[in-house]
Structure 1
């Protein structure tokens, strides 16, 4: 009942079975042919041995079975290999479509990512749930369908010869392919649910431990750190050991049923096929033919056992719905046509219960201008950048690029905006690939020129693999300042007219920070820059400084003018410079 209920309103499994039904039927047919060749190989082998022992009158009576034995011996691995190719091709096509669909579903919700999904949920969807659907096809659907077809075909074939014995064999196989799998699901469902709960708690504990390892060490509680997860690990191990023992005993019971089936075949053939020498030659052949079928029948229970995992994944995927776009009609504004960016009395609050984060904020930034946005932590500086990008919608006020609302350029905003934040993400691939992420249409020469402009040419060419150097996980091969320069090279390739800098030098030493800021404003001198920063280092590079506080803009103007006319600014600047 749970099985049919799960698929009643499913849109993540059934549609793809229908879409690729031709390839699915081919894979299932090849699976049946594999089992047929396996059984026929044993049959012809047994028949050949029996026939050779009776001194046949004509050598052809031996030669033909020998040829058939060779044919079935070759056919079994060939059909198995082709079946694997077809079934995996089918599954890879389906999972490719699933991943594409999942990406598009989540991408349509990108602006509200944090509101609707947690990062862990997305990782689970991408890795665990899609993989579970892949295993559902390979380890449950394929073996089950082939097992059911073999049971029906084999029982009908025997039923034609002897209806009573055919029905008896059907009952034994019914136990193997239906009753035992259902029993496996009922036993393992609760156990798998418990294991999943323990794993979830364990992940939380391990995350806390890893992120707080310094505090554990400083407090001198190393033993507590090691023992914190020991109970959950022990409980998980015990539950998994019980699952292994159950699978071992179940598979042994299935083998016993098959042994009973073989004995029944032996008795049946001796009772019905020993009226003459010709019939007697078929006795061992018929009995031997059923043994390879265990390879197709027993995996059915193994696949059914994992159904609780698949069910959870299917249900979770079916809860993911694309968020309907409320964007107005979109326009494709050419980068060269950009003239100004205007924030007009913009206010923002996350919800009605939270305080207003930004209130009546107004600014106009013209093409080529450089603006620095300063203020205490939590005042909403980064939120201003998110509003400018269109990731957040103002509670009140308007944000316009030229004469268009910022919501009207969302489909093509990558042409207009580049972003460099505190920790740019670098993928574990080559340096060349990481930089080309800014614009995949750029040539190798242009990528190298971008790296040269940001001051990395000498460093890169001193490395053994030069531009094909792997950057490591999250850029671990390079220092923080070097990572920022690589990200800056991306921005140069993207060549958008507006660059948003979200505290890109935070955490760097003063010398590195100063060198990096010199590079930023040198290579981006023809760009419009909005720079969020927490102090006045490098402020001489901008045209205008805006100080925000919780109520209003505290002060704004050109750095030189503020230094001359505003005592507070002068004090902050001198303090920051160590004067």
Structure 2
């Protein structure tokens, strides 16, 4: 409990929404209390009607008011319960919606370094479990606990007014029911639930590894190892969950016993103090029956406390997600239609003081419509160069200038200046039309069809049963690698930015498909400024400038045609790459 309190004091993920939606929170608790009061009042008036009727009143009007109240409380209980559910779930759904939006915002800010900072399985754990746990924190713990405490306070005050001695006895019994047992429960069961969550999180990581590496498992022939890998963790999780169930059953039985003692105390009190005359005796069963429906408000409190360590871990994991903060200068509105020049001025970059320079005094100027290919072995900083150009990374020295404006001042309009096509463009499990329209949400259907025609997919798509409404399936598996790249290229054409960055978009394709695709790229993007990261020389005759990087520095550069004629080393590399 102390750990949870300390965590909530520095929390930035939960508390803000308590204030933002406080009116919904208030009405959720208010209707929850009214639901319990109506349930107790229904049994109270029912008990009174039974007792009063047993005395054979000479006129039905003597119990008419109690009958009407019984009917009113009977209607009020489900109505208030519905309103409480409506308000509480509305509140929780609003909060979790905001939390998911904030989580996506955090991940989007960190997208360039996602794999460096996060494991995919951990993020799946946060999305699948942690946000759900925060939802349950309110629905299973906070709401029931507050409602239960309010009801216990009301009951103890009423009993204290009637008889202070029995009021103290109820205070002791309720303290056991809603304070002592929950605290014991969270200390015994909480650690076990925390271990279950840790196992579950590891299962997400293992499952992600298994799925992403499924092909390697199959190729290596280790089918049984693939099946057996999660079994020990699953068996451990199952055994722990079974212990939790047994503990829960035993604890709830004990709580029912305590509640039975509360009922016995009320029976003794009513028999000693409400039997002086017939009028008082009519309230005996009313008092006793009224307490029973309140068990539904008190007993779940302990079950909610069991999961506090899980909730605290979820809150801690969310609070540990930090957006890499980087101060940006005052932002300038871009004018992509007037773009003239991209300048990479004396760029120098290293990840930390212990790492070698990845980019070392790199200089290049590209005018509107010029194309540059950047080659070099792995680890020479080719992809890092693209991140510097986009502004995802900040150089230790030098600048990236778009028409003499530093890229750091153009981050708000970056999507209007740059479009990117990487090795594996992601296609979402929706229609072809929706996937392409991501490049420009305002584009008409005719505009989408036009760009798909330009990338030579019109005949292929129109031959499909659903044509442009064909679902591309998960990650675009409905189409081949080359077709996925063409759909991604259609997005870029629709986005219509002046600068296009190509990060090895043809890797893994056969040479014929690769050449066809490269020719399509450079033909359709003829008026764009292109920076193309590639690992070999196929298609370099399509660019204006060729740059070889080695240890962060430019080893060789120039027009590929001139290099072929004038540089013997380049000529050998080119002919070797082409298989001459």
> TM-score, structure 2 length as denominator?
0.92
Partner of 1:188: 189
Work out the CA distance in 2 between the residues paired with 1:376 and 1:457.
37
Corresponding residue pairs, total: 579
Work out whether residues 267 and 284 of structure 2, in 8 Å CA contact, stay in contact via their aligned partners in 1. Answer: yes
Work out the CA distance in 2 between the residues paired with 1:429 and 1:213.
24
Work out the CA distance in 1 between the residues paired with 2:332 and 2:498.
17
Could you say if the C-alpha distance between residues 290 and 327 of structure 1 is closer, same or farther in structure 2, counting changes exceeding 3 Å?
A: same
Partner of 2:243: 242
**Secondary structure, aligned partner of 1:371:** strand
Work out whether residues 548 and 555 of structure 2, in 8 Å CA contact, stay in contact via their aligned partners in 1. Answer: yes
Work out whether residues 159 and 166 of structure 1, in 8 Å CA contact, stay in contact via their aligned partners in 2. Answer: yes
1:259 Cα deviation from its structure 2 partner: 2.0
Partner of 1:478: 479
Give deviations 1:171-217, integer Å, cap 9, x for gaps: 21221111111011100232123323433444454444445555555
Work out the CA distance in 2 between the residues paired with 1:575 and 1:158.
95
Partner of 2:82: 81
1:282 Cα deviation from its structure 2 partner: 2.5
Work out the CA distance in 2 between the residues paired with 1:219 and 1:316.
36
1:40 aligns with 2:41: yes
**Secondary structure, aligned partner of 1:331:** coil
**Secondary structure, aligned partner of 2:395:** coil
State the Cα RMSD in Å: 2.5
**Secondary structure, aligned partner of 1:71:** helix
Could you say if the C-alpha distance between residues 551 and 384 of structure 1 is closer, same or farther in structure 2, counting changes exceeding 3 Å?
A: closer
Compare 63-72 and 169-178 and name the one that shifted more.
63-72
Partner of 1:367: 368
Work out the CA distance in 2 between the residues paired with 1:19 and 1:218.
53
1:384 aligns with 2:385: yes
Partner of 1:524: 525
Work out the CA distance in 2 between the residues paired with 1:22 and 1:436.
39
1:302 aligns with 2:303: yes
Partner of 2:449: 448
Give deviations 1:430-477, integer Å, cap 9, x for gaps: 322222222222233322322222222233333333333332222222
Work out whether residues 328 and 408 of structure 1, in 8 Å CA contact, stay in contact via their aligned partners in 2. Answer: yes
Work out whether residues 28 and 84 of structure 2, in 8 Å CA contact, stay in contact via their aligned partners in 1. Answer: yes
**Secondary structure, aligned partner of 2:509:** coil
Unaligned 5+ segments in structure 2 are none
Partner of 1:16: 17
Runs of 4+ in 1 over 6 A off after TM superposition: none
Partner of 1:148: 149
Work out whether residues 13 and 319 of structure 2, in 8 Å CA contact, stay in contact via their aligned partners in 1. Answer: yes
Partner of 1:401: 402
**Secondary structure, aligned partner of 1:499:** strand
1:151 Cα deviation from its structure 2 partner: 0.3
Work out the CA distance in 1 between the residues paired with 2:423 and 2:319.
36
Partner of 2:175: 174
Work out the CA distance in 1 between the residues paired with 2:462 and 2:173.
71
Work out whether residues 372 and 533 of structure 1, in 8 Å CA contact, stay in contact via their aligned partners in 2. Answer: yes
Partner of 1:506: 507
Give deviations 1:63-92, integer Å, cap 9, x for gaps: 333322222121111111111111122222
Partner of 2:430: 429
1:422 Cα deviation from its structure 2 partner: 0.5
Give deviations 1:312-360, integer Å, cap 9, x for gaps: 2223333445544322232222002211112233232222222222223
1:353 aligns with 2:379: no
Work out the CA distance in 2 between the residues paired with 1:249 and 1:147.
21
> TM-score, structure 1 length as denominator?
0.92
Partner of 1:491: 492
Work out the CA distance in 1 between the residues paired with 2:500 and 2:86.
48
Unaligned 5+ segments in structure 1 are none
Work out whether residues 387 and 394 of structure 1, in 8 Å CA contact, stay in contact via their aligned partners in 2. Answer: yes
Work out the CA distance in 2 between the residues paired with 1:438 and 1:88.
36
Work out whether residues 13 and 99 of structure 2, in 8 Å CA contact, stay in contact via their aligned partners in 1. Answer: yes
1:278 aligns with 2:286: no
Work out whether residues 501 and 531 of structure 1, in 8 Å CA contact, stay in contact via their aligned partners in 2. Answer: yes
Work out whether residues 348 and 397 of structure 2, in 8 Å CA contact, stay in contact via their aligned partners in 1. Answer: yes
Work out whether residues 30 and 82 of structure 1, in 8 Å CA contact, stay in contact via their aligned partners in 2. Answer: yes
Work out the CA distance in 2 between the residues paired with 1:315 and 1:62.
57
Work out whether residues 347 and 358 of structure 1, in 8 Å CA contact, stay in contact via their aligned partners in 2. Answer: yes
Work out the CA distance in 2 between the residues paired with 1:231 and 1:74.
52
1:258 Cα deviation from its structure 2 partner: 1.6
Work out the CA distance in 2 between the residues paired with 1:102 and 1:202.
21
1:425 Cα deviation from its structure 2 partner: 1.4
Work out the CA distance in 2 between the residues paired with 1:200 and 1:322.
22
1:305 Cα deviation from its structure 2 partner: 0.8
Give deviations 1:459-498, integer Å, cap 9, x for gaps: 3333333333332222222222222122112212211100
Compare 132-141 and 346-355 and name the one that shifted more.
346-355
Work out the CA distance in 2 between the residues paired with 1:118 and 1:366.
40
